């Protein structure tokens, strides 16, 4: 990998978009490397949390329009370049944190929405910029967005294409946390390492269960029982119970 930087440390895989001169605008090659990076993090037994961020001043400015010719088939571009990345991310059962260090526009916004948590630098912003070039939001954007903030507000952001600053994103429920500039590096790192120290399998089962939240009650309760049976057999569950009995902090290992 070249234009995606990958680092594993303390149970956290950090995936950094690395085209800072273009605010990390996306190219076909970059998307291919991004999919590989998520696949690598998912398969690594040392990784218990994944962070997606951008190098430089921006998180991701969306598709690099310099790579788009006049006769491009946008549907084919979505099917071959963007959809595989989003599918890889959503199939991942490890927690994924978007560390949004700057503007996340267009497909960059979609990448942030595909993550489980969104930490925002106080100067960061989201922009559903597709409307400004006569396109519709893609890469799962409206699906994820409407689930987070409702259909009416999702329509507003998509059609008006206005910039959503960090504090507004927090109020809307788009951001997990807004972090001040002088605390950004430490606080975002601490958030990820905390997730990496949690019961990894329980998190995976929670993510799996949320995907089935559309089920009727009886079917969901049956699924829930299956998930709890699996969780109850993990080493981390037994460690949690013992720690509670001994009045100490549990040490989870992800097993």
* Token duo for residue 197: 């120290």
DSSP letter at 67 equals G
Rounded distance, CA 40 to CA 32, Å?
Answer: 12
User: What is the per-residue pLDDT for 65?
Assistant: 85
* Token duo for residue 232: 């109850």
Cβ count within 10 A of residue 44: 14
* Token duo for residue 169: 């994103």
* Token duo for residue 248: 């100490």
Whole-number average pLDDT of the chain: 95
Give me the phi and psi of 134, to 5 degrees please: 70, 30
CA 8 to chain centre: 17
User: What is the per-residue pLDDT for 69?
Assistant: 72
Are 12 and 192 spatial neighbours (Cβ–Cβ below 8 Å)? yes
Rounded distance, CA 30 to CA 38, Å?
Answer: 12
**Mean pLDDT computed over 202-208:** 96
Q: Kindly list the structural domains of the chain, giving each domain's residue range(s) and its CATH number in brackets, ordered by start.
A: 4-196 (3.90.226.10), 200-245 (1.10.12.10)
Model pLDDT for residues 46-105, shown as the tens digit of each residue: 999 999 999 999 999 999 888 877 788 888 989 999 999 999 999 999 999 999 999 999
- What's the pLDDT band for 1 if we cut at 50, 70, 90? low
| Residue at token pair 């429920």 | 173
User: What is the per-residue pLDDT for 70?
Assistant: 73
Are 161 and 132 spatial neighbours (Cβ–Cβ below 8 Å)? yes
User: What is the per-residue pLDDT for 217?
Assistant: 96
Evaluate if pTM is beyond 0.85.
yes
Q: Does position 184 have pLDDT exceeding 70, yes or no?
A: yes
Rounded distance, CA 218 to CA 35, Å?
Answer: 36
């Amino acid at each position: 990998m070249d234009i995606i930087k990958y680092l594993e440390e303390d149970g956290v895989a950090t995936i950094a978009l690395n085209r800072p001169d273009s605010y990390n605008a996306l190219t076909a090659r970059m998307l291919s490397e991004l999919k590989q990076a998520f696949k690598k993090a998912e398969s690594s037994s040392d990784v218990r949390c994944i962070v997606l961020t951008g190098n430089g001043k921006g998180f991701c400015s969306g598709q690099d329009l310099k790579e788009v010719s006049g006769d491009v088939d946008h549907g084919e571009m979505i099917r071959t370049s963007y959809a595989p990345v989003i599918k890889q991310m959503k199939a991942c059962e490890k927690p994924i944190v978007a560390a949004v260090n700057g503007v996340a526009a267009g497909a960059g916004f979609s990448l942030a929405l595909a993550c489980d948590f969104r930490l925002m630098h106080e100067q960061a912003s989201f922009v559903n910029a597709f409307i400004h070039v006569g396109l519709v939001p893609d890469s799962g954007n409206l699906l994820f967005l409407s689930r987070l903030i409702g259909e009416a507000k999702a329509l507003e952001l998509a059609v008006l294409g206005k910039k959503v600053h960090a504090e507004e994103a927090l109020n809307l429920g788009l951001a997990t946390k807004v972090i001040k500039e002088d605390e950004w590096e430490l606080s975002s790192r601490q958030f990820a390492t905390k997730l990496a120290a949690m019961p990894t399998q329980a998190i995976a089962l929670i993510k799996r269960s949320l995907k089935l939240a559309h089920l009727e009650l009886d079917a969901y309760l049956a699924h829930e029982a299956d998930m709890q049976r699996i969780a109850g057999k993990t080493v981390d569950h037994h460690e949690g119970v013992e720690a509670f009995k001994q009045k100490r902090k549990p040490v989870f290992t992800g097993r």
